[in-house]
Each structure stands twice: as structure tokens, then as C-alpha cells.
Chain A
Amino acid sequence: MAFQSWRELLREVIAAPGEKERLAGELGLNAMTLTRWVMGETVPRPLNLQRLRRYLPQEYRLQFEQLVRAEYAEPIFSTEDAPAVESGVELFRSVLEARTTSADLARSWTISLRVLQHAIRQLDPEREGIAIVVVRCMPPASDGLIHSLRETEGQGTPPWESNLSHKAQFLGAESLAGHVVSTMRPEAVNLVSAPDVVPALPTEHEVSAMAAPIVFANRVAGCVLVSSTQPNYFISQAKFTQVTDYALLLSLAFEPGEFYPPERINLRVLPTPSIQRPVLDQFQQRVVTRMQESSAAERPLSRAQAELAVWQQLEAEVMASMFVLESTGRNTKEGALDEQR
């Protein structure tokens, strides 16, 4: 149903039994206040308009936001608001401090997590559902080329899990991340109607997505991959810019030797997540075994060294399984979607 104003929309919503009381309770306001807004007797503060949007039934939120934007000259919704710039200065400062002061063992983790912690609040202030993952290039194979990417640190808001790091998997040419790393250009897609020119295989809960490459001196180390439960979530210039800014900052989490010139990126199409999972589930125990063996041999590997060795081992196994899958035709986009259904 099309409404002429957000007041008209709100009138419709609170006409449903119990909705006025529910909304008033969520907002911590008297129910009569909502009636006054609808009648135009009083004007809500911008913060209350933000909150009201958050507690409206899902199907009304986008139209409500559009109607409010049409009425107010000043930005109301926080994702495009000025404080983002202000908090960005502190973020830049703290990332640079982490780069300067963190111990070698902790530097990459500290910078990645600092950026993700900021991004999760800024990109999803209404807790509608977002997942943000840092994706790294695997080291070059014996032919000197990079054939896959792997997910590393990740965070989410419901319906995704809070910590996504243990769900890491390989990504290849079939993925949005693979496309963005190969082209070294940021890209946003609506996955329910993704154009064929951008490869993208929607994962569970994912309706729209964006990826931005992590670049230094025209070489690429990976990308930041952001998924949303909402359609067209990255269509606004403000969000697109925010994600690309996070990718710029994440470049400080990588060592110079982890960036590769574009001609060495030669990604393969990889098996779907469900096919990779049984192999990846062995990751943690293999890392422990590798560390224990190295300690016993009195040549101890750090956890990062052991993890990288195991990732390379698993990459080879996943690649090998791909040859089998290609011959049986089991690794298709349609097949992956069928698995999710």
C-alpha cells in the first residue's frame, strides 16, 4: 500500500489491535504521543523517528524511511549521519596506534577486529542482520599463481552468529569476493536478482552483499565481504563509501609481502560450502597436531605458521575434490541453491 506521508503509514500500523501499545512500550513513550504524531499535533525528535523505524513491522520500514527522508531536509537515519565521520577519526587513530604498538603476534588480529567492531555498529545500527568477513588471498601455489581466497576473521549480528571466524571457508572465482579481488574494484549486488556479470552465490540469510578489495601499491591481499538480510542494503553512496573505507584501513592488517600483483591472481572455481565443510572441520585438530609435532621436534611453529601450513594442505585437498565434482556436474550454482532449500 502506498502512503502519502510517514504519519499516514503510522496511522495504518497503530490501527492494528495492540500495535500502538507495543510501539509505545518499545519507545518508552505514552501511547497518546503516537496519536499526537499521527495527528500532526506534535513533531517527534529525530532520534525517536530512528527508533520508530526500528520497531515498525518489517514490511513497513523501507517505505517509512523513504517518507521521512522526503519530509526532512536534514538526514535522520544514522547510517548517513555526521557522527560517522567523527567516529571515523577515532577509528583511524586507533588503527594506526595498533599498527604502531601491537606485538607482532597480535597485530593483524588487533587491526582486523578493531575495524570489524566499528563496522558492525556503523553498518547495522538497527540490528537488522549483517555479516562482515575479512577475506585473504591464499599464498601462491607451485605455479606462482593464487588459486583461492580464504575467509579469516568475521563478525555478525542476528540471524548470523556473533563470531564467524570458525566458519571460515575457501572462496574462488565463483564468488563475489573472488570477482572483486580479481578486478580490484568494489562491487555491491542484490543477490535475489544478481546480474550475471557479477558472480555471486548467496549464502544462508544473505539478500544483498558488497565486497571491497584490500589494496596496497596496486597489489591486492584480499577483500572485505559484507552481507545483509536486507535488499539493496549497499545501494546508498554512504554505505558503499563506508565499506570501501573499511577496506582501506584493513590494508594495515597485512604485511607488505601478503599483497600480490593482479597478474598473479588466477582464481579457480571451488566446491560449494557444504562440500568444503567436511574437509574444513578437520582444520583445528590438524593445526594442533602440526604444532605438537613441531614442538616435539624442537622446531616449534607459531600458531600462525601452523595454521597457514594447514590451510595450504586443505586448499590442495579441496582443489583435488573439485576435479571429481566437475566430472560429475555436482558443483553448480543451482546445486548450491538446492542444498540451501
Chain B
Amino acid sequence: MSSDNTYILGHTATEMVRLTEQDRLITMGMDGLLPELPDLAGIKRVLDVACGPGGWALDLAQKYQHLQVLGIDVDGGMIDYATAQAKAGGLDNATFRVMNALEPLDFPDNTFDLVNARFLAGFVPQNRWSQVIMELRRILRPGGIIRWTEQEWTGTSSSFEQAEAYTFQAMRRAGQLLAADERNVGITPLMRRFLSDAGFRNVREVAHALDFSAGTGVQRAYAQDLWMATVLLQPFHLALGVATQQELDDLQQRVQEESLADDFYAVWFLLTDLGTKP
């Protein structure tokens, strides 16, 4: 992991694979890549911020071959992965570059028609939000659109609640938690304000509920995603001292048992904010 990388799940081959699978689940759950923007007239250059292994950017480039899609991520391994996937699919309209969204971005003003960002809360410290959003505004052309998605989830599994509690405690200690208490990340209620404060106009919000309860057909895929996340979060939890190795091992076992059970109910809420640069 590079010293610039504040992403809490770190850089591993498993995380790249997990995020790629998660992209597919999210796109399916949201009914498409850009469900809030049915008309792409005037959109040609698209930036995907913190693109990870590039799943969303690659699918967008695949579906809309007239778009030029660029993904950026602080992690060179993720960028290599995404670049290899673009080559495998023969997508010459998808490119990827290493860039840290916490720093000034290496693009001129007014470069992009659409900037997409998802799950920034996994790496943005609480005192850097305004700076990050202002920078995204700078690189959008006038009339360009920001599309920003964050998440919260709820379910019946006590082990997931415990895993989340460890994560929020660790995020608090790392200075990455906005909420007053340690029961959620606290970003979704603040998104509209961040966009408005940065000068975006026509800010609107669209919510999606991704149900992965027993009987939905996607329970097993989400269970795999969450189980892998608990495995990958272990170093973060241990480093911040919120649990012992034994507690985390026991938790992992319970996560697997509960997430596959036929009395498991859970919903993942995604909130997408859209705003236009004047």
C-alpha cells in the first residue's frame, strides 16, 4: 500500500477481485450504469474518480463507445488491473491513470462533461471533503454534471453490526468518520450540502435500495462480498486496536453463518447526488 493510500480495505489482489464483483452487483441493483441520466446528449468525456479496478468505467466504455472514459485511482495496482481489463475487451475508449483524489488533479479546468465518484467515504478524511469536491468542480466544464454516490446499509445480522461497529470505531480513530456517534459513516445526509457549498446548481438526490435478503437470488453473491470485506478489514481493525485477532476470527465465522441463513434480511441503501456546474 502506498503511503498516500488511505483506503481502509487496502490493496490486495482479493480486494481488486471483490470490487470488480461488487461493481457488477451495484450496476444490476441500480438498473444500469447511469440510471438517473437517460439522455447523454452533450456528454463525451467522462471521469471516474477512485475507480478501483475500473468495473464501472469499463462497462460504461463498453456500452457507450462514443464516450471517452478515464478512470483515476491512487493505487497503481488497481490501475494496472483496469488497464488489462480494457485491453482484454478491446476497449480503446477506456483509459486509466494513477492519481490521488485527495490532491490537486492533473487536469486543466473545464476538462470533463461528467464526473462520477462512488464510495469516497472509504478514504476521504473528514476535514478534506470540501477541498475534494471543489477540485472535482474545477475540472468539470460549465454545464457539466457531477454524479456522486455513497451508501449506508441495515440488516438483521448481529455479526455485521459488530463488524460495522469495529469499522466505525477504527475510522473514528483514523479521522475518517463524519457522524457524531459510531453508528454510521454519516456522509449521506451531508452530500447535498457539500455540493451546494462547492457551487453546484440543480442538486438532486436519487436513492436506490439493494435488497440482498434470503430468497432474493443475490444473497450468496453479497454474502461473499461482505465476508471478503471482513477478511480484508482485519488489518485495519487490528492496526487501530478496536479488536483482537481472536475476536475478529470469531466474527468472521459468525458473518458466514448468518449471511447465508434463510432468515437473513438486509438492504443496502445507495444515495446518488447529482449537480450541475454553472
Contact = CB atoms under 8 A, between A and B. Distances in A.
Interface of A: 27-28, 47, 50-51, 78-79, 81, 83-84, 86-87, 90-91, 93-94, 97-98, 101-103, 105-106, 109-110, 113-114, 117-118, 121-122, 125, 127, 162-163, 165-166, 284-285, 287-288, 291-292, 295, 300, 302-303
Contact of B88 (A105, A121, A302): A121
B217 A106 contact: no
B13 A114 contact: yes
B95 interface: no
9 contacts: A78-B89, A90-B87, A91-B88, A98-B13, A113-B20, A117-B85, A165-B220, A285-B262, A295-B253
Nearest to A112: B17
Nearest to B228: A106
Given A105-B231, A106-B231, A284-B260, A166 B88 contact: no
A287 B230 CA distance: 20
Contact of B83 (A90, A285, A302): A90
A86 B217 CA distance: 37
B268 interface: no
A137 to B, nearest CB: 22
B28 A162 contact: yes
Given A87-B88, A94-B80, A165 B221 contact: yes
B156 interface: no
B173 interface: no
B220 A166 contact: yes
A87 B87 contact: yes
Contacts of A106: 14, 228, 231
A107 B268 CA distance: 27
Nearest to B55: A117
Nearest to A163: B221
Interface of B: 12-14, 16-17, 20-21, 24-25, 28, 58, 62, 65-66, 80-81, 83-90, 92, 217-221, 224, 227-228, 231, 253, 256-257, 260-262
A291 B20 contact: no
B145 to A, nearest CB: 19
Nearest to A87: B87
B228 A291 contact: no
Nearest to A115: B17
Contacts of B218: 163
Contact of B80 (A90, A102, A284, A303): A90
B105 to A, nearest CB: 25
Contacts of B21: 113, 117, 163
Contacts of B231: 103, 105-106
